[in-house]
């Protein structure tokens, strides 16, 4: 790939990106967008994880999915690999047709985890795993709300970093929310989803990743929580940020942060 037009990201950014490893958990509307964008910016190593196969109801938002895939019942991880390889044939794509909890040993070796899952419980468990192994987690989510026959779209993208505020600190995971979700398990169908909010939030997520991995801009502090208003078509830093603690209070002990037997994989040294 010729990445000359993104050389402003840093003199060695192409090397950093080519050697970086990212895990994508969930390859539906949000995850499929992220896979495509990471391929375009030159990410070298992908771990794509999803236990599901494409269905006709996915075609309104799953990047790369086709009617032929629906007919064949193609796995979402296979569609993601096809999209990635069509952009960057030399990228390494490791596919896991499984839940993320079944491949935790491989997840420990990535630099960043993208969380594109549907449930609050899964988000909470995935963040706990990421905190345990000091891996940055980038999470996106959207929802459609109905009131008096009118619909509104909202969503958020957040960056969960070791010692920094977590999803509980930000109010994205609550005991009440987990209880309600558990009570409704299996009772509701798929959540409403459309392609453009997923694309917007996926782009924000990739922006988080680029700020982490490349030195293109270092003067401004990256907000850890950005909120999307689909009615106004805006993405703004959350008002919650002003009230968040400087350090996370939920992952602040030896039992909740870090693994003494884990060795970091240093990808590249630039002198």
- pLDDT in the model for residue 246: 86
Per-residue model confidence as pLDDT tens digits over 222-266: 899 999 999 999 999 999 999 998 888 888 654 455 554 444 443
The model carries a pTM of 0.90
Lowest mean pLDDT among 12-26, 61-75, 167-181, 223-237: 167-181
Are 251 and 173 spatial neighbours (Cβ–Cβ below 8 Å)? no
Domain boundary assignment for the chain: 10-243
Q: How confident is the model at residue 225, as a pLDDT?
A: 96
Instruction: Convert the pLDDT of each residue in 134-186 to its tens digit.
Output: 999 999 999 898 888 889 999 999 999 988 999 999 999 988 888 887 777 55
User: Can you read off the two tokens belonging to residue 240?
Assistant: 């919650």
Residue 192: pLDDT band (50, 70, 90) is: confident
* Cα separation, 177 vs 141, whole angstroms: 15
Domain 10-243 top-level CATH class: alpha beta
Evaluate whether 103 touches 95 at the Cβ level (below 8 Å): no
**Cross-strand partners of 147:** 150
Q: With 90 as the cut, is the pLDDT of residue 215 above it?
A: no
Is residue 51 within 8 A of residue 139, CB to CB? The reply is no
Q: Assess whether pLDDT exceeds 80 at residue 101.
A: yes
| pLDDT one-digit tens code per residue, 130-147 | 999 999 999 999 989 888
Average pLDDT estimate for 8-20: 91
């Amino acid at each position: 790939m010729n990445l000359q037009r993104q050389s402003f990201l840093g003199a060695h950014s192409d090397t950093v990106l080519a050697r970086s490893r990212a895990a994508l958990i969930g390859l539906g509307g949000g995850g499929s967008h992220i896979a495509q964008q990471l391929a375009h910016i030159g990410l070298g190593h992908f771990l794509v994880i999803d236990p599901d196969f494409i269905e006709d109801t996915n075609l309104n938002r799953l990047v790369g999915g086709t009617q032929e895939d629906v007919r064949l019942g193609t796995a979402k991880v296979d569609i993601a690999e096809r999209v990635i390889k069509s952009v960057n044939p030399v990228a390494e794509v490791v596919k896991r047709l499984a839940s993320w909890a079944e491949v935790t040993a491989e997840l420990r070796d990535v630099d960043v985890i993208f969380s594109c899952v549907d449930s609050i419980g899964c988000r909470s468990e995935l963040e706990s795993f990421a905190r345990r192994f000091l891996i940055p987690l980038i999470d996106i989510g959207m929802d459609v709300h109905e009131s008096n026959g009118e619909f509104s779209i909202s969503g958020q993208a957040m960056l969960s970093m070791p010692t920094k505020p977590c999803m509980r600190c930000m109010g994205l995971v609550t005991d009440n929310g987990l209880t309600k979700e558990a009570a409704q398990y299996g009772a509701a169908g798929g959540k409403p989803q459309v392609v453009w909010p997923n694309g917007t939030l996926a782009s924000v997520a990739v922006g988080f990743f680029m700020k982490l991995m490349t030195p293109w801009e270092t003067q401004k502090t990256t907000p850890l929580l950005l909120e999307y208003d689909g009615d106004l078509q805006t993405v703004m830093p959350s008002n919650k940020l002003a009230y968040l603690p400087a350090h996370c209070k939920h992952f602040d002990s030896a039992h909740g942060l870090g693994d003494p037997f884990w060795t970091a994989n240093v990808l590249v040294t630039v002198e």
